[in-house]
Structure 1
Amino acid sequence: MAFQRLASIILLLSLFTISYSHRDNGGIAVYWGQDAREGDLVTACNSGKYKIVLLAFLNKFGAGRTPEWNFAGHCDNGAWKKCTELEPEIKQCQARGIRVLLSIGGAPDYSSYLLSSPEDAKEVANYLYENFLSGQYGPLGSVTLDGIDFDIEVTEDYWDDLARELDFFRRTTGRYFYLSAAPQCPIPVYYLGKAIATKLFDYIFVQFYNNPSCSYVSGTNALLNSWDKWVDLVPSNNSLFVGLPAAPSAGNGYIPAEVMNGRVLPHAKKASNYEGVMLWDRYRDVQNGYSDKIHSNVIKSKLPASVESVTDAIYQSVYKALRRVFV
């Protein structure tokens, strides 16, 4: 038993050392796959604008449903069809160091996705791991995606169970992958509150739009106040992104680039767990050129992190790892 625990500790230390590598000087995450006019995935990755690309969406799963996806004409949608033409594009993006995650959920539709029980969450986790994270041949070909994003907008039930089940795979298979969540900005948190409380998510893409109480509508105060609450809510060794519409047409709460660069980013970057900006979505970014206007200001610092801050982050990761083994 002692040997098994020691082996588990060594594995966890290696995994969490790898996981720490996602913390850097910041960057932009973007949702891709919801408008055929946005261009192909390789073009998005070759633009040099993004550090994370989120494939949107796997929008039908759970409660016995046959999983389906909708990538807006980039490949076949629906049950029993394949998107294997995306395989070489995904691999090219990953070869450039860009993390490619599959986003599950999307716009509310109670008929399309839902979890009915902890056992159902386990089944969905098995499906996600086997088809998108294990390297086995699946709907996207023989790819190993970098993680799963929770863009959940229906009910709060069992998403925490799904996060725990996916975390089990990355702790026991010898390969770390990332978990991200895209909650709406109001606190208490809609839909993903229980899941985020597990503290298992590497990235939190807070949607500061379509919610007037905490998004940029008539000024920055509401947004910045909400941001500060999220900074306190999310552990310091997880990463926070300011989620925004990339154009006025993409959602209520669009922030002009000059306001973003002059007021929002200087404030957001003071947080130790700030990591960047999330944009909805690639098509609107192409149309408006928003990432071009803010890209140089998204970076937190051009200086390497101090030894103390790196040590603290690693300590926190190791502490969490040990607790999972012994508690």
Structure 2
Amino acid sequence: MAGNLRPSFLAITLALFMLSFFKSSLAYPCTVTYWGQYDTAGSLQDICNSHNYEYVNIAYLKNYATGSPKLNLSIHCLDCSYLEVEIDHCQENGIKVLLSLGDPGHGTQTNASKLAKYLWNNFLGGESSDRPLGNATLDGIVFEDVNPGTVLKFDELAKELKNYGPVQLAAFPPCGEGDRNLDSVIDTGLLDYVWVKFYDDTSCDYSNNNIDILSNAWLTWSSRTGINLLFMGVPESEQLVSSGYIPPDFLINEVLPFIQSSPQYGGILVWHNFSSDSYTPQIKGSACKEGKNILSWLKTAI
């Protein structure tokens, strides 16, 4: 009997050691947000200093499919190299900073190999004389849903990026009808995180204290192959969206107990303009249940 128990004991001991190590050095994700598109958001460093988020997505890089990519942060900066210091500050505090791919633009599409090389050398672990964010090394890339009819080989791009070295990859799809560009990359299983937009779509989001439609949509997503950690994207206020706002108390008492039963549960993405950052502090303690996502996260982090 003792011989049979020993491997399990060693495995548990190792897991606890790793949990302790990673908790002290790297925050596993359970709350995520975007920064870059609202003048009410304050600085990137302000967002990180709030300690409300483990991941912050810089939005957006545009025109990346035309061969003339442009960082669209004009609300905050034209020359954004100064953000190097703020990004370093966030990372030093265990917060991951990713770059989100926005409107790909129109025209001749850059092939996946060329685009991956550009992203790696200008934002990730490579080298370039013209890095828009200075010498900051971002942690990863977020794939966004794009214009209907646009064909982008996100699956090939993900493979190319993973070949360069350690890089975190995520996608932000709508909860309803799929985007074929995102479907293809999700199916590869290469994405570390999929944070799904559970708002602005009455076919799958929350309304009128009714969780049924949302629950069915969550079950559909959690049963998909290729998903490692699954996040529910929610808006901070009714003013930001056409539908899908979930009051904090209802999210905590009704929604979270249901979605946290999924092994793929990773956490909550909060979409807001930071005019008042009160939503996340209310739900963070419940969203970040230890043990709910840490073991799945370890698979993507090591």
Same fold, TM-score > 0.5, yes or no: yes
Corresponding position: 1:46 with 2:49: yes
How many aligned positions are there? Answer: 274
Deviates more, 1:161-170 or 1:43-52: 161-170
**2:146 pairs with 147, 153, 160, which one?**
153
Equivalent residue letter for 2:260: K
Match of 1:181 in 2: 171
- C-alpha contact 1:28 1:277 (8 A) present in aligned 2: yes
Distance (whole Å) between structure 1 residues aligned to residue 218 and residue 107 of structure 2 = 29
- C-alpha contact 2:144 2:173 (8 A) present in aligned 1: yes
DSSP-derived class of the 1:272 partner: coil
Distance (whole Å) between structure 2 residues aligned to residue 304 and residue 222 of structure 1 = 24
- C-alpha contact 2:100 2:142 (8 A) present in aligned 1: yes
CA deviations over 1:83-105 (Å, ceiling 9, x no partner) = 10111000000000000000011
Match of 1:71 in 2: 73
Distance (whole Å) between structure 2 residues aligned to residue 207 and residue 114 of structure 1 = 28
Equivalent residue letter for 1:93: C
| Cα distance, 1:223 vs structure 2 | 0.9
Distance (whole Å) between structure 1 residues aligned to residue 97 and residue 29 of structure 2 = 16
Match of 1:60 in 2: 63
Match of 2:246 in 1: 255
Match of 1:168 in 2: 163
| Cα distance, 1:157 vs structure 2 | 3.2
Give 5+ residue unaligned stretches, structure 2. 1-17
Q: How does 1:117-266 map to 2 (within 5 A)?
A: 120-134=111-125, 136=127, 138-154=131-147, 155-170=150-165, 176-218=166-208, 219-235=210-226, 238-251=228-241, 252-266=243-257
Equivalent residue letter for 1:32: W
| Cα distance, 1:301 vs structure 2 | 2.9
- C-alpha contact 1:115 1:159 (8 A) present in aligned 2: no
Corresponding position: 1:295 with 2:268: no
| Cα distance, 1:25 vs structure 2 | 6.6
Residues 253 and 113 of structure 1: CA distance in aligned 2, closer, same or farther (over 3 Å): farther
TM-score, length-scaled by structure 1: 0.76
Deviation above 4 Å: which 4+ runs of structure 1?
A: 21-26, 187-190, 302-305
Match of 2:95 in 1: 98
| Cα distance, 1:156 vs structure 2 | 4.2
Give 5+ residue unaligned stretches, structure 1. 1-16, 77-81, 171-175, 319-327
- C-alpha contact 1:231 1:240 (8 A) present in aligned 2: yes
| Cα distance, 1:232 vs structure 2 | 0.8
DSSP-derived class of the 2:59 partner: strand
Query: Taking CA–CA contacts closer than 8 Å with sequence separation of 6 or more, which of the two structures ends up with the larger relative contact order?
Result: 1
Distance (whole Å) between structure 2 residues aligned to residue 179 and residue 304 of structure 1 = 17
| Cα distance, 1:132 vs structure 2 | 0.5
Structure with the largest fraction of helix: 1
TM-score, length-scaled by structure 2: 0.82
Distance (whole Å) between structure 1 residues aligned to residue 180 and residue 90 of structure 2 = 32
Identity %: 34
CA deviations over 1:153-202 (Å, ceiling 9, x no partner) = 223431211111112112xxxxx110000011125455411111111100
